[in-house]
Amino acid sequence: MSGARANESGFNPLLMAAMVIVGVVAFIALWALVALGPQLSSGNDGGGHSLSKAAPGFAGLVDLLERSGAHVELRRHVGPGAASGDEPLLILTPTHQTKPNEIEELLNQRGRRALVVLPKWQTVTMPGQAKKPGWVGQGFPVTPDGALLPESQFGKVRIRAPQARAQTVPASVAGRPFAAYLPDNAQTVDGDGIIPLIAGANGGAVLAMAKERDFYVLADPDLIDNFAFASRDRARAAAMLIDAIGEDADTDSVAFDLTLNGFGGGRSLLRFAFVPPFIGITLCLIAAGLLALWQAWVRFGPALKPARAIPISKEALIANSADLVRQARRELDGADAYVANQRLAIARRLHAPAGLDPEATDAWIDRRLKRGSDLFSAIARRLPFARNRHEFLEGAQALHDIRKELLRDG
């Protein structure tokens, strides 16, 4: 009963171990998602980047370029790509909140050729009103500030959205003529540090190039975003525009940057802990923690206190005495005393007549045994002549069984 009560009131080791394991796994998973969440995100959030399938996004252009056999890379990190060979045309899709130094950091790498697609739309997603996941509900054109483009690369520029109707204008980039479809009130850019490549409707340039390096600026994203894929002709013009810019920059591959849109892997110790080469150290620390938990599990419960050298109790006294007899190899010398002890205990409990000698007492005990069982007197005479421990233990056990049978005790 006491053992059952202890189990009911105490901790369940299996339950506690399961709670610890679940907690450790959840803790590691939480920090891994915090560190790698931007890189694992699908990105279909209605924004103006290459993962978005909404109108201001560029997922349609990515899909079209991939289907046409071009090498397309979606970069979630700052620095050279994983592909070997020449640096591809890097397409930057900044937002209205992007800082110029962030764009400058991406552009200031050796051998880089880039196209900066200026933002245009501020979108609002109304909960429950989007027809499909990732679509936007409403969009408002907002002309970005000219300071968005780094002055060190493009000089001082001005971005405008003059009043103009949608129209088709002839364009020629890298000696390749094609038609460019300009939307209503197309954004344009002008400045002393850029060279116009595709003129706008009322001055300025829709597509321009920096004078010093192979950096291009597309003032209006509606020439290549998902909104342009509303018609086959505009989609073909978007693909031709990117292909012409790539040919002018002397590159045959395209890379879309995602770091400016919040989907890159930031430079943090937390992220480094879950990517090579530091993932090995993280796994070693996790293994060390699991070994520590295993050690705690093996020693579950309070620490054991060292026992006394000599316990205090009658049982301890008996155990110590028996140990001394065993060490002295004098077990057989206690046969007469053991027989006398068993005889006296049985006679007292069964109220044997007083004044009987040992032989008479043994005969009195024999008359109370069942027929066919071993006689107490025979075992009592045989036990003192035991030749070894085996015979002694056999006889002592027989006397003990007779005592149990007569007295009904353990």
Domains located in the chain, CATH noted: 31-267 (3.40.50), 314-407 (no CATH)
- Please report the pLDDT score of residue 129 as a whole number: 59
pLDDT bucket at 34, cuts 50 / 70 / 90:
low
- Please report the pLDDT score of residue 9 as a whole number: 45
Please tell me the distance from the alpha carbon of residue 192 to that of residue 197, in angstroms, as a whole number. Answer: 14
The helix/strand/coil state of 360 is helix
Q: Name 379's Cβ contacts closer than 8 Å, sequence gap at least 6.
A: 395, 398, 399, 402
**In this structure, are residues 236 and 242 in contact, taking their beta carbons and an 8 Å threshold?**
no
User: Is residue 43 predicted with pLDDT exceeding 70?
Assistant: no
Which of 392, 373, 374 lies closest to 383 in space, CA to CA?
392
| Residue-wise pLDDT tens digits, 93-133 | 998 889 999 898 888 877 788 999 999 988 776 565 556 66
Tokens of 185: 């009130």
Q: What is the pTM of this model?
A: 0.58
Q: What is the DSSP letter of 355?
A: T
| Residue-wise pLDDT tens digits, 283-326 | 888 788 878 877 776 766 666 777 776 667 777 777 777 788 77
- Please report the pLDDT score of residue 403 as a whole number: 85
- Please report the pLDDT score of residue 6 as a whole number: 44
Tokens of 349: 């409990």
CA-based max dimension of the chain: 140
Mean pLDDT computed over 65-89: 76
User: Is residue 183 predicted with pLDDT exceeding 60?
Assistant: yes
Please, what is the angle between helix 335-349 and helix 389-407, to 10°? 0
Please tell me the distance from the alpha carbon of residue 116 to that of residue 111, in angstroms, as a whole number. Answer: 16
178 forms beta bridges with 171
Please work out, in degrees rounded to the nearest 5, the angle formed at the alpha carbon of residue 216 by the alpha carbons of 212 and 217. Answer: 125
Q: Strand 194-199 and strand 188-191: pairing? A: unpaired
User: Is residue 47 predicted with pLDDT exceeding 70?
Assistant: yes
Mean pLDDT computed over 184-198: 90
CA distances 51 to 56, 134, 222, 245, 404, Å, are: 11, 10, 16, 21, 87
Q: Name 265's Cβ contacts closer than 8 Å, sequence gap at least 6.
A: 36, 38, 39, 76, 77, 271, 275
| Residue-wise pLDDT tens digits, 24-33 | 788 777 776 6
Please tell me the distance from the alpha carbon of residue 150 to that of residue 152, in angstroms, as a whole number. Answer: 5
For the chain, what is the mean pLDDT?
Answer: 80
- Please report the pLDDT score of residue 305 as a whole number: 75
Mean pLDDT computed over 226-247: 88
- Please report the pLDDT score of residue 5 as a whole number: 46
User: Is residue 207 predicted with pLDDT exceeding 90?
Assistant: yes
- Please report the pLDDT score of residue 1 as a whole number: 42
pLDDT bucket at 278, cuts 50 / 70 / 90:
low
